[in-house]
């Protein structure tokens, strides 16, 4: 069992390591990099994604040899399905918003989280380009550059700015209508829709109150783990789009300032998806 003091030590070490990794991040952002395409032509990876994940994983493993790791690029190499056990497990996205990173768009970051007994206990999101470090330890609040942050108090979707996922739909043939239907609903109801191009920064923005809420599906644990804890510690709620219980390993995420707003989004999704399914039936 890890004590509070152990968790504090894990946090301090991971924080200084993430800041160090930020120097490598900046070199790649400003300089030349090798860009490869993954499964789809909109899904890219650079040599810096790999360098940063290597540094974080190797250093954390050396320091904490009995800990486990779930990292985006390691998982991509081994093609294993990530499994979260009760052991302390670091969940790492070396660069979230890789497409932004390649384009020189500063909405990109490093995301590092620790789960113990499947509970998120540490979340660190670092955007070295704008020097923003978001941190949280379970039960101790959320911080941006060491200053406490809070979600908004907004309980109404019509008064909300909402972060969504607007990633390419080119390869998403089956659920295209569902995604477009939801977007239309968000456009019609909210005060405005935003897409930063980094799920982790999107969650950090919910935590600091820069947006009121976020809804994204098809995310991976490494996209959200740190951000989910930071939102919760900033006073917000994170729930699943469909399932009853939020599962960081299968994240269909609604993050919001509070439960009322989150439940309003969930109900809107249920109603909108139903309408889309009915339209499908009348077309066939
Ligand atoms: C992506 C970003 C993006 C989200 C995608 C993720 P990556 O992560 O978080 O905002 O829309 O679903 O895959 O590949 O840049 O680490
Ligand atoms: Ca990626
Ligand atoms: Ca990511
Ligand atoms: Ca990534």
Distance 160 CA to ligand 1 centre (A): 23
Cα-to-centroid distance, 278 and ligand 1 (Å) = 30
Instruction: Spell out where 166-252 has E strands.
Output: 192-194, 213-216, 237-240
Say whether 233 sits in a helix, a strand or coil: helix
| Closest alpha carbon to 236 in 208, 197, 274 | 208
- Write down the pLDDT at residue 2: 85
C-alpha distance from residue 66 to each of 10, 83, 225, 265 (Å): 13, 16, 20, 40
Ligand 1 atom closest to the CA of 95, numbered from 1: 16
Confidence label for 168 from pLDDT (cuts 50, 70 and 90)? confident
> What pLDDT, on the 0 to 100 scale, is given for residue 169?
80
Per-residue model confidence (pLDDT) at position 173: 74
Q: Can you identify the CATH homologous superfamily of domain 4-148?
A: Fructose-1,6-Bisphosphatase, subunit A, domain 1 (3.30.540.10)
Residue 23 has pLDDT above 90, yes or no: yes
Query: Residues 193-199: what's their mean pLDDT?
Result: 97
Chain segment 101-144, per-residue pLDDT in tens: 999 999 999 999 999 999 999 999 999 999 999 999 999 999 99
Q: What is the DSSP code string of 202-222?
A: HHHHHHHTSSSEEEE-S--HH
pLDDT tens readout for residues 215-255: 999 899 999 999 999 999 999 999 999 888 999 999 999 99
Kindly report the number of other CB atoms within 10 A of residue 238's CB atom: 23
| Ordered DSSP codes for 38-64 | -SSTT-EEEHHHHHHHHHHHHHHHHHS
The per-residue pLDDT for 185 is 97
Dihedral of alpha carbons 37, 132, 107, 159, sign: positive
Ligand 1 contact, 93 CB (< 6 A): yes
Q: Is the pLDDT assigned to residue 64 strictly greater than 80? A: yes
Q: Which residues are catalytic?
A: 72, 93, 95-96, 98, 223
Q: For the domain 157-283, what is the CATH code?
A: 3.40.190.80
Q: How confident is the model at residue 22 (pLDDT cuts 50, 70, 90)?
A: very high
First vs last C-alpha separation in the chain: 56
Give the residue extent of every domain in the chain: 4-148, 157-283
CA gap 269, 83 in Å, rounded: 28
For tokens 């209508």, the residue is 177
């Amino acid at each position: 069992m890890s004590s509070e003091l152990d968790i504090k030590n894990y946090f301090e070490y991971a924080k200084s390591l993430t800041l160090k990794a930020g120097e490598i991040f900046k070199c790649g952002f400003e300089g030349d990099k090798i860009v490869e395409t993954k499964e789809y032509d909109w899904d890219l990876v650079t040599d810096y994604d790999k360098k940063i994940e290597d540094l974080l994983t190797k250093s954390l493993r050396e320091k904490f040899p009995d800990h486990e790791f779930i990292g985006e690029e390691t998982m991509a190499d081994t093609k294993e399905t990530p499994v979260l056990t009760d052991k302390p497990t670091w969940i790492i996205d070396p660069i979230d918003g890789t497409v932004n990173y390649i384009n020189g768009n500063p909405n990109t970051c490093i995301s590092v989280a620790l789960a113990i007994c499947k509970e998120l206990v540490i979340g660190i999101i670092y955007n070295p380009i704008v020097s923003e470090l978001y941190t949280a330890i379970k039960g101790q609040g959320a911080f941006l550059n060491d200053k406490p942050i809070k979600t908004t108090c907004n309980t109404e979707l019509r008064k909300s700015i909402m972060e969504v996922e607007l990633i390419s739909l080119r390869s998403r043939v089956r659920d295209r209508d569902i995604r477009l239907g939801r977007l239309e609903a968000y456009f019609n109801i909210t005060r405005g829709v935003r897409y930063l191009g980094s799920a982790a920064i999107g969650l950090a923005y919910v935590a600091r109150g820069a947006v009121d809420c976020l809804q994204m599906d098809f995310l991976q644990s490494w996209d959200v783990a740190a951000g989910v804890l930071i939102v919760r510690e900033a006073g917000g709620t994170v729930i699943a789009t469909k399932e009853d219980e939020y599962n960081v390993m299968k994240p269909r995420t609604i993050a919001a300032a509070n439960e009322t707003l989150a439940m309003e989004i969930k109900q809107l999704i249920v109603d909108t998806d139903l309408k889309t399914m009915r339209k499908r039936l009348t077309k066939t």
